[in-house]
Structure 1
């Protein structure tokens, strides 16, 4: 291993002192890497059990949301399955970062000096605050409206049996004059930002069934949107060949909740546009103003890295229990569809000034191909789960597909795919199109 320097740190085990190293990298120019489970002197990796790795991952994940301020949501990456347990820390934009319980003084702020994390003097902390004064971060700025009330928020905290402490929730600006910031404005009863919902008849926007607009505190808007969708989220009952009853919602509610909450949390409130929720016959689209901040990619977002646009709003909604397991939202959407045994998955459209989540209607394909479902339920041609897997994929595509594509999509071997295709052809469900390298298969 390379020698320890300003960007690399080796630690034998996980202790609370590791928080100092993390904070020092957050406050640095280029961030750094921490290797955990390494002999301090020889730099040789130690044998670390899977249980220990799992425990370390859980502890550091909790630290990300509870141990530092500002909260470094998108800045710390944990790699527990590497040969050496690795923690990658990016340099933050909102310096200085501190150990939360110690605060912004020499006991809480650490910086890099050579290969060590050292306490920053109070003078250095002040210089950092001046140098990196938050600029253009909407939820930290002073609200233009200061006559705010919080009846909705108070009810939420009362229900949770928690104190509604505006200072602890960081709803006031750092200037010390008690002025409300825009994070407070968003959770207040006077929140001026709205969300719009439309239900269309068909697959395009030509014909409306219903239109709604939602006002008030951001938590009220989230609740009202979710309640409305739950009322029109149909449940399909399928009777299988084993006389079992399978119930499937058009859209998994877990996926809906994650998409809706993320749309409000990550919205760019500097853009003059609304959160839009649009329901078509075959899909639900949730569009949030603002692209992905902090230079992250969609693949990184899917892997659990988080784009932190409104850290104070996130902090408040986390305390109000509107955010769970932060950073896992997209993965939870995929899991929700998998739990409904659907071959369909959520998709995403990322543009410079918008982020759209598209949730497919799991029951629409079922209705569009009811005759094929009938074949599976009422025939005795010996079709098995492999056949159903391939058929489900072909129903989603609604076009000619090739054998290699089916192998990749289903994970089945070449021989199993060939056997399934032969059975489906014999059942007169699919047809073979083309020859040689252009051979493909399509639903009849």
Structure 2
């Protein structure tokens, strides 16, 4: 094997220090990192499949969490190569840094000969000045050009359309696939995560999933998964027909999910996150509103498109209507429930909050039932019927518990219980202090 140089690095094992080498290659001309190689002899070591799998999982985690901006499609992990190989391509959005350190000399590295060295503040400033965008991210050439589009082709067949990379704007002027093509390809590595919680906070998980692959399949799988967890309640209207109401309107879900994929900032080291609570559904998308528009302007129908090539593809396959009506539709479907979707806009995120239209009614019904039960007990006369009602509502009760509910004397309760026992309507269970009574 050749010695280490500007483009080659050898490591015995994977440690956090490897982040520096990755960042250095991203900020220069790219390179290859071989893991499981003796530093001095350059001989491959005996590495188990289990160890290689652990390295792969760690690198995949780093891909989305350890660097800024996200090295989108720039890391190629080759587990089956002997030795284990990580290919790093030159980045297009320099400077890249170790995420937790930020864009200063403590987090930015450059490849100089066979070493990775910290960039000076002046070098960081120079890279920022030189990093002038020539266009939208989704229009840039994709690093991975070995793409397949089985999911996209299947969707086109369903809509009676032909697959054409030109008409779908999936290639640049030199006929290379762009990043929009990568996003709808079967090779897309960006994940989306979903969590379902018990109650109205994050303290208890009911289920959680991660979806990957073409964003077309992700959208389909997400909508199906959410539909399985979108309960329908029956409302009796007084007419011959029953009215079935889903917790979350399907139209609002679809608009929010598709918009999250269409307009997110794919350079941010994050992922689309969907969380389902008892009282609401939240969709969080990386990236705020582009072009300096406000939420109020978006509500009025003004459009701010971060990924026009991707939006064009989603429009062609009938997943989106490119008229800026998504948010207005969400408001429209909630009118009948006297509720509104909510939006939280920050510099680097956009959150849609869809209220559960059945939640308020469900809570009110429970409160009403509780009130009725309490009133029925409060208004009881001290009689045989009152004791039977208590045992029916509460199950087994001691004499003291019944006495407390009726707010009467021990003598009165003992007498009524004995009458009911003699009539065969109440049974006595246990003896002494453990004595309880239940309806026969």
Report the TM-score range of the alignment, normalised by the length of the smaller protein. Answer: 0.5 to 0.7
Note the alpha carbon deviations across 1:13-55, whole angstroms, 9 max, x for none.
xxxxxxxxxxxxxxxxxxxxxxxxxxxxxxxxxxxxxxxxxxx
Aligned to 2:227: 230
Aligned to 1:165: 164
TM-score, normalised on structure 1?
0.52
RMSD: 1.8
- Give distance in 2, aligned partners of 1:203 and 1:349: 18
8 Å CA contact 2:148, 2:187 repeated in 1? yes
Change (3 A) 1:236 1:292: same
Change (3 A) 1:371 1:213: closer
Equivalences for residues 48-67 of structure 1 within 5 A: none
- Give distance in 2, aligned partners of 1:329 and 1:270: 23
8 Å CA contact 1:366, 1:373 repeated in 2? no
Note the alpha carbon deviations across 1:359-380, whole angstroms, 9 max, x for none.
00001111100067789xxxxx
Aligned to 2:298: 301
Give the drift of 1:156.
1.1
- Give distance in 2, aligned partners of 1:134 and 1:151: 31
Change (3 A) 1:167 1:134: farther
Aligned to 2:428: none
TM-score, normalised on structure 2?
0.52
Give the drift of 1:291.
0.1
Tell me the secondary structure at the aligned position of residue 288 of structure 1.
Answer: strand
8 Å CA contact 1:153, 1:188 repeated in 2? yes
Change (3 A) 1:192 1:203: same
Tell me the secondary structure at the aligned position of residue 354 of structure 2.
Answer: strand
Give the drift of 1:137.
2.0
Tell me the secondary structure at the aligned position of residue 357 of structure 1.
Answer: strand
Aligned to 1:192: 189
- Give distance in 1, aligned partners of 2:271 and 2:157: 30
- Give distance in 1, aligned partners of 2:331 and 2:369: 28
The total of aligned residue pairs comes to 239
Give the drift of 1:136.
5.7
Point out where structure 1 has 5 or more consecutive residues left out of the alignment.
1-132, 376-444
Tell me which of 336, 339, 343 is aligned to 2:338.
343
Larger radius of gyration: 2
Give the drift of 1:135.
2.6
8 Å CA contact 1:267, 1:290 repeated in 2? yes
- Give distance in 2, aligned partners of 1:218 and 1:320: 12
Point out where structure 2 has 5 or more consecutive residues left out of the alignment.
1-131, 371-440
Aligned to 1:328: 325
- Give distance in 1, aligned partners of 2:278 and 2:356: 7
Does residue 212 of structure 2 align to residue 215 of structure 1? yes
Equivalences for residues 365-404 of structure 1 within 5 A: 365-370=360-365
8 Å CA contact 1:282, 1:360 repeated in 2? yes
Aligned to 2:285: 288
